[in-house]
Amino acid sequence: MPVTLTVPTTKIKSRGVLHGLSATSLTVHTPVVVIQRDVQHLGHRGLTDDPLYRARRILRRRHDRLTERQWARLHAALAAGDPNEEITAGWLVAQRLMQAYANPDRVAGKVAAEQVITLARTCPVPEIARLGRTLTAWRTEFLARFDHPDVSNGPTENLNLKIKNTKRVARGYRSFTNYRLRLLLNHGIIREDQQTARIRTRRPSLAA
């Protein structure tokens, strides 16, 4: 006698949450974009003698993780290559966002994140104002990170990267069946109903 399973139909409300790494990477990259804009006006790319170019990696780090030597290099680079304090403004916005994410108090962190949106949107620096408009457009998903800290699209991004790497290594696939089988072999589970391809067309003959 066949058994019928009845699954109740319930509406599941999905909620979009902007991953903290994505927002942080976008914000931390803002001072570098300002540097690139200034360098284009000078007519050359970053040089080793440029103090800001030499401190580009320090600009991406959190202030509480900088050593005394890195602090000295950062202050010297901003004093020598940022007369209008535009790069400093971008660095401060990035630092405030990272502080909001690092705050153990979710309510205080969310308030600080809202202040970052307002600060960036009203900033006269074009690159920072563009960042503010982006965060405003993703305001709901951006602030939802503090209400749902356990929600993350990290596993999805991880699997998506593996799929792209598999396709890149194979130089593409003509057959979707073979492509799907390769993905299941590398990153998934082979079901029992999966038919494997026959390698030999006939039974091999044994040598005497």
Token pair in block for residue 46: 């970053």
Q: For residues 175, 177, 183 and 185, what is the CA-based torsion angle, rounded to 10 degrees? A: -120
Token pair in block for residue 70: 């890195």
pLDDT at 158: 79
Prediction pTM value: 0.63
Cα 19 to Cα 6, 154, 180, distances in angstroms? 36, 8, 28
Closest CA to 108 of 119, 96, 118: 96
Per-residue pLDDT of the chain (208 residues; tens, 9 = 90+): 444 434 344 443 555 777 666 777 777 777 777 777 766 655 555 566 677 777 878 888 888 888 999 999 889 888 888 888 888 888 888 888 888 888 889 899 899 989 988 988 898 888 888 888 988 888 888 888 888 877 776 777 778 888 888 888 777 778 888 888 888 887 766 555 555 555 555 565 655 5
pLDDT at 125: 87
pLDDT at 181: 82
Non-local (6+) Cβ contacts of 6 within 8 A are: none
Non-local (6+) Cβ contacts of 125 within 8 A are: 34, 86, 89, 90
